[in-house]
C-alpha cells in the first residue's frame, strides 16, 4: 500500500512510518517541522516539508501519487498552546485537517485514519470509572474541542463521500522520541531531568503534596499496532479508544523513573508542586479491542525502555 503519514517527523508519526516501512508499505511523510525533528524521519520514506494548511503544499503531496490510506498524525498537540492560541490550534487541527480531507476525497483516497485524543476529549473521568467510546465527550480545552470538531467532519464526510474513516482516540502516549510538550510530556521531562541530576516535580492533583494527576499511559508500540490494524483493514470499528484502562499517578511515574536513575548514579530528588491550571485530575480510558494486539506493554517495561532511550540519546549528545 502507499500511505501518507502526516506529522511524520513527530513522535508517533515517525514510529508509525518505521513500522509501515518494515511491513513493506510505501510511505510518504508530511511535516512542517514545527515540533517534529528531521532526525526522526526514516531515510526510506519520501518527505514533503511544509504546512498542510497551505493549499500549495497539499497539492504537492497529492499530485502524481495515489494513496491507499492517510494516517493523519500531524497536529498542534499542546493543550497549553491551545489555551493561549486557540485560533492557531483550530487553524491547524480543524482547517488544516479539512484541507487534507478535501484532498483525500478529491483524489479518491479510500481510507482516512485520524489521531484523536481520548486523553482530553472526555474531560474529567470520575474516580473508579473508565471513559468508553459511548461516554459523552466533554472537552475542557480548545485542543480537545478542535479534535472533537474534526471527528464530526469525518462523520459528515462519510455520509456524503466515498471514503472510510477510522478514529483512534489515544490515551497519554509515551516512549522513545517523545516530546516534552505533548500529552504524556511528563515522562520525557522526568527522564531528561533525572539524567541531568535535576529535581523532578510532582504537580498536585488537588492539593500540594498529593500523588498528582492520574493518567492512562499507553506505550508507543501499542499505538503503532492500533494504526497498523486500521491501515491494513483489520480494524472494523470506525472509532476506538487506544488506552490500557490502567490509571497511573504522577508520583508512581516519578518513583519508577527515579529508581532507574538512582541505580545508575543520578542524584535527582522528588519535589512537589501546586495544581497546574487546566490539568485534568483524572483520565482513564476503557480499552477497545485492537485486532492483532494481545496485551499492552506494562508501565514498568515501557518506562524502562523509554528511560534507556533518553539515556542513550544523552550519551550520544555528550560524545
Ligand atoms: P508531535 O508534536 O511529536 O507530532 C506532531 C507533528 O505534526 C510534528 O512533527 C509537527 O511538526 C507536525 N505538524 C504540526 N503542525 C503541522 C502542520 N500545520 N503541517 C505539517 N505538519 C505539522 O506529537 P505526537 O505526540 O506525535 O502526536 C501525534 C498525534 O497524536 C497528534 O495528532 C496528537 O494530537 C495525537 N495525540 C497524541 C497523544 C500523546 O500523548 N502524544 C495523545 C493523544 C493524541
pLDDT tens column, 171-186: 999 999 998 776 668 9
- The CA 262 to ligand 1 mean position distance, Å, reads 32
59 neighbors 48 (Cβ within 8 angstroms) = no
- Return d(Cα 118, Cα 131) in angstroms, integer: 8
pTM of the predicted model as reported, rounded to 2 decimal places: 0.97
1 neighbors 69 (Cβ within 8 angstroms) = yes
Residue-level pLDDT at 182 = 66
**For 105-113, what is the mean pLDDT?**
98
For the cut 80, the answer to whether the pLDDT of residue 94 exceeds it is yes
Is residue 151 in contact with ligand 1, taking CB distance under 6 Å? no
Residue-level pLDDT at 6 = 98
- Return d(Cα 157, Cα 165) in angstroms, integer: 9
The x, y and z cell numbers of residue 149, run together, are: 470538531
pLDDT tier, 226 (very low <50, low <70, confident <90, very high otherwise): very high
270: phi then psi, degrees, rounded to nearest 5: -90, 140
Residue-level pLDDT at 184 = 66
217 is catalytic: no
**For 274-282, what is the mean pLDDT?**
92
Residue-level pLDDT at 318 = 81
Residue-level pLDDT at 179 = 83
Share of the chain above pLDDT 90, in %: 94
What would the pLDDT profile of 13-54 be if each residue is shown by its tens digit?
A: 999 999 999 999 999 999 999 999 999 999 999 999 999 999
Is residue 179 in contact with ligand 1, taking CB distance under 6 Å? yes
Is residue 307 in contact with ligand 1, taking CB distance under 6 Å? no
Torsion sign over Cα 107, 109, 110, 115: negative
- The CA 265 to ligand 1 mean position distance, Å, reads 34
What would the pLDDT profile of 237-259 be if each residue is shown by its tens digit?
A: 999 999 999 999 999 999 999 99
pLDDT tier, 319 (very low <50, low <70, confident <90, very high otherwise): confident
Amino acid at each position: 500500500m502507499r500511505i501518507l503519514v502526516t506529522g511524520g517527523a513527530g513522535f508517533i508519526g515517525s514510529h508509525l512510518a518505521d513500522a509501515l516501512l518494515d511491513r513493506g508499505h510505501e510511505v510518504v511523510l508530511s511535516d512542517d517541522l514545527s515540533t517534529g525533528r528531521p532526525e526522526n524521519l526514516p531515510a526510506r520514506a519520501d518527505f514533503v516539508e511544509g504546512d498542510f494548511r497551505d493549499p500549495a503544499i497539499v497539492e504537492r503531496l497529492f499530485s502524481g501519487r495515489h494513496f491507499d490510506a492517510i494516517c493523519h498524525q500531524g497536529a498542534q498537540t499542546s493543550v497549553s498552546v491551545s489555551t493561549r492560541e486557540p485560533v492557531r490550534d483550530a487553524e491547524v487541527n480543524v482547517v488544516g485537517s479539512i484541507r487534507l480531507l478535501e484532498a483525500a476525497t478529491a483524489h479518491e483516497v479510500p481510507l482516512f485514519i485520524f489521531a484523536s485524543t481520548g486523553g482530553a476529549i472526555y474531560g474529567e473521568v470520575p474516580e473508579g470509572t473508565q471513559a468508553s467510546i459511548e461516554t459523552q465527550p466533554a472537552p475542557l480545552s480548545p485542543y480537545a474541542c478542535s479534535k472533537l470538531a474534526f471527528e464530526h467532519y469525518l462523520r459528515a464526510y462519510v455520509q456524503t463521500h466515498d471514503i472510510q474513516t477510522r478514529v483512534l482516540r489515544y490515551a497519554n502516549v509515551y516512549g522513545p522520541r517523545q516530546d516534552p510538550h505533548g500529552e504524556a510530556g511528563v515522562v520525557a521531562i522526568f527522564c531528561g531531568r533525572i539524567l541531568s541530576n535535576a529535581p523532578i516535580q510532582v504537580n498536585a492533583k488537588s492539593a500540594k503534596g498529593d500523588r498528582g494527576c492520574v493518567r492512562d499511559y499507553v506505550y508507543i508500540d501499542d499505538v503503532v499496532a492500533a494504526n497498523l490494524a486500521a491501515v491494513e483493514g483489520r480494524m472494523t470499528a470506525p472509532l476506538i479508544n487506544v488506552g490500557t484502562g490502567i490509571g497511573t499517578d504522577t508520583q508512581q511515574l516519578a518513583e519508577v523513573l527515579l529508581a532507574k536513575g538512582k541505580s545508575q548514579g543520578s542524584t535527582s530528588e522528588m519535589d512537589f508542586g501546586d495544581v497546574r491550571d487546566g490539568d485534568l485530575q483524572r483520565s482513564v480510558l476503557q480499552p477497545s479491542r485492537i485486532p492483532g494486539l494481545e496485551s499492552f506493554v506494562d508501565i514498568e517495561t515501557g518506562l524502562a525502555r523509554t528511560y534507556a532511550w533518553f539515556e542513550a540519546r544523552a550519551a550520544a549528545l555528550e560524545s
